[in-house]
């Protein structure tokens, strides 16, 4: 009976930058269809927009975004990004581009 509660947030996270993807912000595959796991900042036409991005750079950019735009403290942002971003599909293999 408690099962449905587990579904709480029906949110999609970009598997590259970890940001939530809202409708209209999905990336695109080569055939123009929606890329369900990537946002349009990271992934367009079947390829990463910044193939040179590294895990370190992504974490640094994310910390900057969170402290500037979302008003996280440096510490909070650092803890969060280090716990979330390395788990994302793009980075789990240890390096980028491992779609
Ligand atoms: Zn993204």
Overall average pLDDT of the 75-83 stretch: 96
Phi and psi, residue 26, nearest 5°: -75, 150
| Cβ pair 96, 48 in contact under 8 A | yes
The CA 84 to ligand 1 mean position distance, Å, reads 13
**pLDDT score at 65:** 93
* Residue 9 in this model has a pLDDT that exceeds 90: no
Q: What is the Cβ-side half-sphere exposure of residue 77, based on CA atoms within 13 angstroms?
A: 18
Beta-strand (E) ranges in the chain? 26-28, 34-39, 43-44, 47-48
Whole-number Å distance, alpha carbon 2 to ligand 1 midpoint, is: 32
**pTM of the predicted model as reported, rounded to 2 decimal places:** 0.78
Per-residue pLDDT of 22-62, as tens digits, reads 999 999 999 999 999 999 999 999 999 999 999 999 999 99
- Name the percent of the chain lying above pLDDT 70: 84
Cβ atoms of 90 and 16 within 8 Å: the answer is yes
Is the pLDDT at 77 greater than 90? The verdict is: yes
Whether the pLDDT of residue 88 is over 80: the answer is yes
Centroid of ligand 1 to alpha carbon of 75 (angstroms): 22
The phi and psi torsions of 84 (rounded to 5 degrees) equal -95, -55
Say whether pLDDT at 11 is over 90: no
Distance (Å) from CA 96 to ligand 1 centroid: 13
């Amino acid at each position: 009976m408690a099962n449905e509660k587990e579904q709480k947030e029906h949110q999609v996270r970009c598997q590259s930058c970890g940001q939530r993807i809202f409708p209209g912000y999905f990336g695109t595959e080569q055939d123009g269809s929606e890329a369900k796991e990537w946002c349009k900042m990271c992934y367009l036409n079947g390829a990463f927009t910044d193939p040179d991005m590294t895990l370190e750079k992504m974490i640094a950019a994310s910390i900057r975004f969170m402290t500037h735009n979302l008003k996280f403290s440096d510490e909070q942002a650092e803890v969060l990004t280090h716990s979330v971003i390395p788990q994302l599909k793009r980075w789990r293999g240890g390096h980028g581009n491992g779609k």
